Amino acid sequence: MSGGFSTRRQMLASAFLLGAGAEIGEALQHAHQAVRQGFAVQSLPPEMAKEVEALVCQIIPSGDGPGARETGVIHFIDRALGTFAADQKDLYLRSMGEVQEVRRKMFPESASIAGLTDVQQIALVHAIEKTPFFGTLRTHTVMGFLGSPEYGGNQGGAGWAHIGFEDKMAFDPPFGAYDAAAERGGQ
Amino acid sequence: MKAPYSPRDIVDFVVIGSGAAGGVMAKELSEAGFSVVVLEQGPWLKEKDFLHDEIKFTMHSPLTNDTKRQPLTYRENDSMKARPLKAIEYGRQVGGGTVHFTGNYWRFHESDFHERTLFGGVPGTGFADWPLSYAELEPFYTKAEHDMGISGLGGANPFEGPRSKPYPLPPMPAKSSGVLLERAAKKLGLHAFPAPVAVLSKPYRGRSACTSCGMCEYFGCEMRAKSSTLVSVIPMALRTGRCEVRPDSYVRQIRMDSNGRTNGVLYFDANRREVFQKARAVALCANGVESPRLLLNSKTSRAPDGLANSSGLVGKYLMWDNGAFVSGLFEEPLNEFKGIQVGRVLHDFYNADPKRGFYGGGGIDARFNFYPVSFGLGGLPEDAPKWGAGYKRMLREYFTRTMSLLSHTTSLPQLTNNVSLDPDMRDAWGLPAARITYSPHADDLATLRWIQPKQEEILRAAGAKRVWRYPVDEFGMSLHLMGTCRMGLDPKTSVVNPYSRSHDVPNLYIVDGSNFVTSARQQPTATIQALAYRAADRIIAESKRGGL
């Protein structure tokens, strides 16, 4: 077997997220605090958090509805790195230094990722998109955009609203357009 | 004798595991008047513990085996050194895998039980007939369907064997994917039918009906509408006053007396104290990986290769949870996140056919597979942008309009695929970890490659604007743990008899997916439970004749 393990069930459980269940409650508590405290970060150095946020805002940009910025993805990531993804914090600290190196080479005049133009930020993300760190960052961004708001991201459920997901305890049929049409057609 | 019991009490039965089979054994044996202690390694959870939290329940999987405490190793073949990997997954709480499973509840077909005769042999495998027929198992399928609370439409699957009773509950409401699957099936001359599921379409025996919240697979049900053993048969067992369930109890050894019979079970309690529970008989229902592991870990000087293992087949013939996956994009929203996971199924490609040049077949279900985060990570076609404005736009367009079809296909029994004890890795209790050795048979891969285009054709016939597939040669974790203590008539070529009783140890019953001789087409829960009802029925009949 060349492929090894991935597919539908494995994709639910990215390797770097495995086995941290016990710390979830703690993550939720921290997330509540985060929402109360505005931008305050606890795991990442504040300057670095702004740089990480500039990257995640290119993964899910604003415009055409709220993006990573408006939904508070950076809060999700900061809390995750202090709780269930604590073993990923070093990767962030190390890799952000490497991303800054790439930025300096590409844009020698620049002082920060956050200070780059949109076009420059997109070019920078293209330059790092194949790295393992970007894979982690993307996963955390998607989790922060589409996971439960309890974790500090997806604020106001805006990520869910963007994709059309509703978080409810009960739904009545018809559920979608095709079963509704079948019902009307008397099938 | 009334529960709770003391370890010094000699109870009639210790049941190891409280999942699909263990829950049934506990209920049947205690209702028949036996004293029963159920030892469950996981916690005893309640509805309040089950939340709609995708990150917690699907990514950190708290309802399944925790590889931090119970590491597993995996290798492709026995020439390799196994490495730590969560290659298999099972439910780890009172109710076992029936708590977090999707709820699919097919019966196997008549042909499944004598497929070796129908199809012929497959070189290099242990492909064999079961030592029992569908007709012998049918009353126990019926009993299971009624005790659990299964929703479905009897007779709607034209390929199913005869049934003595209809399902106790009508099918679940149709979803858009079900309507589309039916539309495609009509065009293609196929037969879609309402999925039989362990979910209540109507209130049943004091439990409320499903509210179509959509969170079944990997989640526990917050309203007791999923027909787990936790909310169906285990409460019935407890009501007898003769059954005690001990959660957080991790069995380390099945003990033997000098006459070659088991006399009880040694386990670690929640405080890691060793407790020996005396018993007249033991029902091992720990699943297709943990049951053989425990037998291998229970070796004695008289059974140096493991308990109940004179055949050498304990742990052998591990079969895998195979299936191919495709998705399609439709014009209008389907909102597949509403309602149960699987609404409609078809079995037109179930039977194997020697003319194809390989053994295999599968069922196909219309399935909601991606909660929001997992959709964001893996729900879009491979060539979709992974980030940026285009990615964000596609999330919006695709999430509500995607329909997926998953096939459930054959896995041939091979001696080289097995569960053994890892020579180096130990769990948090100091016991040797399970080592999984597995590679698919060439026919298993041929089956996946054959059935996947049929799934694509169905989606196109249903009107999909775009169809995409997932790789079939990258296989995932196995959640259907089958084959490792196979049943048979001959003690040289099987571990248990047709009533799940060990050939070697007369008062040891091994009852779970490990008994399976073939994989059929996956979705093993109904058959595991039918086997458990049949084993219990036999035990009760024999005890009336003084056999226990």
Domain count, chain A: 1
Task: Give the neighbor-by-neighbor strand order of the sheet with B325-329.
Answer: B192-194, B342-346, B362-367, B402-409, B325-329, B466-469
Whether B372 maps to a domain, the answer reads no
**B164 in any annotated domain:** no
Residue B432 backbone phi and psi in degrees, to 5: -55, 135
CA angle B390, B393, B395 (to 5 degrees): 110
Judged by a CB distance cut-off of 8 A, whether residue A25 touches chain B is no
Max CA distance (Å), chain B:
74
Express as a percent the part of chain B with pLDDT over 70: 100
Q: Mark yes or no for CB contact B387/A125 under 8 Å.
A: yes
The alpha carbon of residue B446 and the mean position of all alpha carbons in its chain are separated, in whole angstroms, by 23
Domain span at residue B242?
A: 1-51+88-151+219-315+482-548
Within a domain: A118: yes
* Residue A180 resides in a domain: no
Contact residues on chain B for A139, CB-CB shorter than 8 A:
377
On whether the pTM is more than 0.90, the answer is yes
Q: Count CB neighbours of B8 within 10 A.
A: 8
Rounded to 10 degrees, what is the CA torsion of A76, A81, A87, A92? 100
For position B4, what pLDDT does the model report? 97
Cβ–Cβ gap A176/B335 under 8 Å: yes
Chain B hits for A162, CB-CB cut-off 8 Å, are: 392, 395-396
Cβ distance B248 to B42 under 8 Å? Answer: yes
Decide if B187 is inside a domain: no
Is B423 domain-assigned? no
Question: ipTM value of the model?
Answer: 0.95
Interface touch A143/B52, C-beta < 8 Å: no
Which pLDDT belongs to residue A12?
Answer: 39
**Is the model's pLDDT at B451 over the cut of 70?**
yes
Structure tokens at B86: 């969560």
Residue B7 CA, chain-centre distance (Å), reads: 31
Q: Decide if B522 is inside a domain.
A: yes
Distance (Å) from the alpha carbon of B219 to chain A's nearest alpha carbon: 13
Task: List the structure tokens of B302.
Answer: 């008289």
Q: Which residue has the higher pLDDT, A24 or B103?
A: B103
Residue of B nearest to A19 (CA): B60
Instruction: List CB contacts (< 8 A) between B173 and chain A.
Output: 173, 175, 179
Interface test with A, best of B387, B406, B437 (most A CBs within 10 A): B387
B224 touches chain A (CB under 8 A): no
Q: How far is the C-alpha of B259 from the C-alpha of B173, rounded, in Å?
A: 56
Between A18, A21, A180, which is nearest B86 by CB? A18
For residue B237, pLDDT beyond 70: yes
B473–A18 C-beta distance less than 8 A: no
Q: Which residues pair with B345 in a beta bridge?
A: B193, B365
Cβ within 8 Å, pair A163-B372: yes
B87 contacts in chain A (CB < 8 Å): 5
| Number of domains, chain B | 1
- Residue A28 confidence (pLDDT): 53
The candidate with the shortest Cα–Cα distance to B254, out of B275, B282, B274, is B282
- Asked if pLDDT for residue B76 goes beyond 70, the answer is yes
pLDDT in tens, B459-483: 999 999 999 999 998 778 999 999 9
Window 352-371 of B: residues touching A by CB (8 A cutoff) are 369
In a domain, A17, yes or no: no
Pairing mode of beta strands B274-284, B11-16: parallel
Count how many Cα atoms sit within 13 Å of the Cα of residue A113 in the half-sphere of its side chain: 26
Domain membership of residue A63 as a residue range: 24-157
Is B264 inside a domain boundary? Answer: yes
Q: Is B494 helix (H, G, I), strand (E, B) or coil?
A: coil
